[in-house]
Structure 1
Amino acid sequence: MTFAKLFGAAALCLVPLGGTAQNISEDDVRALVLQTIRENPAIVVEALQLLELQQQEAQAESAKATLAQQRDLLENDPNAPVIGNADGDVTLVEFFDYNCPYCRSAKTELDALLAADPDVRVVMREWPVLGEGSVFAARAALASREQGLYEPFHNALMTMDGRAEEQSVMRVAASVGLDVDQLRRDMDAPDISEHLQTSSALGRALGFTGTPSFVIGDNLAPGMIRSDQMATLVDLARTAGD
């Protein structure tokens, strides 16, 4: 329900007992709305809060439906890199951007989780949302799979100094042993574009507005979370799967 409809409904409740809704014009409704606001300014805040709650509930239901419908794609997409234990009993999906400072912090937390729990499988969803440098880095990282160096390259990009841009990304690529000429050729592969498009579609359908964002079992965790919070969600997913 929109803000205007909320107030329209409220205004109709103010029609005198002798009148009917059919006798009320649009101008009358507007006048009643303005009168209601002037006499009860707090109703504006209440209406906005109600509208926000309704939107949040609708978004949560939409995200829940997306999670149920896209579970297999989220957890088993053959075009998404996997780190951690490939045979782990719980899958964590991370949406991230190499130029996101919170993603870099989240990497430290994720490393701590993987060190403490060897049965976690992590699906990496490259979601470059912070400019051309982020897109270049994501394409390069995905292309590094052809040389079997995705994880070390990913780790190096996440811990590099400064922004990920073409020059800095290629410098890091060379430092981890990648053939940069092959890397450039592989960056234009159709499966890389497909991965990025799928990440964007999934992220938005799940209601994520930025990075990092996580899917762990039936729980969505937008934003930066600590390793202990990750562990709690992993335990919930593990219990639900028993």
Structure 2
Amino acid sequence: MRVLTLLLTLVFAGLTAPAFAAEFSDGEKTEIETIVRDYLLANPEVLEEAFSNLQERRRAEESQAQQQAVTDNRSLLLNSSRQAVIGNPDGDVTLVEFFDYNCGYCRRANDDLKRLIDENPDLRVVLKEFPVLGPPSVEAAQVAIAVNDVAPDRYGEFHDTLISSDGRVDGAAALALVREMGIDTAAVEAAMEDDNVQATIEEVYGLANALGLTGTPSYVVGDSVMVGAVGFETLQAEVNKTTCGELSC
């Protein structure tokens, strides 16, 4: 294996460098390449192993970059003035969720989030409006952000109801819910015209880009970033790690 590593290094790296390649004649280079080729044809599993190692290395690098991005953006993730908070607003542990009202996985995962809040009275949940599924999602997010500005004490109920909707949700559907809940619709519509609404969405897009997030739901707990509807148990384990340093407290 050490010989193979050397040969691969020569073929794929050294032989492409003019100064290094000059040390070998054309015949020697051809012979080395033939030896490597024959070895790989006889032992193709080596390529699988190399590819697997490369994937693991890249995953580790991506995870490290994500953790650094969390560190660099922690204040904006946890304490932005443009965010909605549910659960215990004074809780010692914070979970951040990036979501889209038209995301089917977000809708199913909402039960996991509610259970997490019920079973962890010290949990603070920051909700990031991350509309990635087209204009209807953007419209719904705009209404939700305005609701949080006008009636922050009603936002949790509004969010839970809207994320539990069947079918496509857009601005009209979100405003219909505002009226149904008895929230000041005129005030919400006025708030939607404020620059804060678009600034909030752009802030979340920027955070998602920094963290490498492209889909919903996505979560941040402590230094951990989780993508997809990972389930209650996984979320609880991450909350526990942040709370007591163990998977189970």
Q: What TM-score range do you get, normalising by the shorter chain? A: 0.7 to 0.9
Contact 1:152–1:176 (CA<8 Å) still a contact in 2?
Answer: no
Q: Does residue 137 of the first structure (1) align with residue 133 of the second (2)?
A: no
Contact 1:100–1:211 (CA<8 Å) still a contact in 2?
Answer: yes
TM-fit CA distance, 1:135? 0.6
Give SS of 2:206's match: helix
> Separation in 2 of the partners of 1:97 and 1:107?
11
Runs of 4+ residues deviating >6 angstroms: none
CA separation of 1:139 and 1:24: change in aligned 2, threshold 3 A: farther
TM-fit CA distance, 1:234? 1.2
CA separation of 1:13 and 1:79: change in aligned 2, threshold 3 A: closer
CA root-mean-square deviation:
2.9
Q: Does residue 106 of the first structure (1) align with residue 109 of the second (2)?
A: yes
2:4 alignment partner in structure 1: none
Structure 1 vs Structure 2: percent identity of aligned residues? 33
Q: Which moved more, 1:178-187 or 1:106-115?
A: 178-187
2:89 corresponds to which letter in structure 1?
A
> Separation in 1 of the partners of 2:196 and 2:8?
51
2:96 corresponds to which letter in structure 1?
V
Give SS of 1:91's match: strand
1:168 paired residue among 158, 169, 173: 173
Q: Normalized against structure 2, the TM-score is what?
A: 0.80
1:54-95 CA-partner distances (Å, limit 9, x unpaired): 321221111111111111211111211111111111111111
1:69 corresponds to which letter in structure 2?
D
Where in structure 2 are there 5+ consecutive unaligned residues? 1-6
> Separation in 1 of the partners of 2:184 and 2:175?
10
TM-fit CA distance, 1:162? 0.9
Contact 2:94–2:125 (CA<8 Å) still a contact in 1?
Answer: yes
Q: Does residue 94 of the first structure (1) align with residue 84 of the second (2)?
A: no
Contact 2:93–2:124 (CA<8 Å) still a contact in 1?
Answer: yes
Q: Does residue 236 of the first structure (1) align with residue 205 of the second (2)?
A: no
Give SS of 1:233's match: helix
Q: Normalized against structure 1, the TM-score is what?
A: 0.82
> Separation in 1 of the partners of 2:10 and 2:56?
18
Aligned pair count reads 228
> Separation in 1 of the partners of 2:227 and 2:189?
32
Bigger CA radius of gyration? 2
What does 1:60-99 correspond to in 2, within 5 Å?
60-99=63-102
Q: Which moved more, 1:79-88 or 1:200-209?
A: 200-209
> Separation in 2 of the partners of 1:164 and 1:175?
15
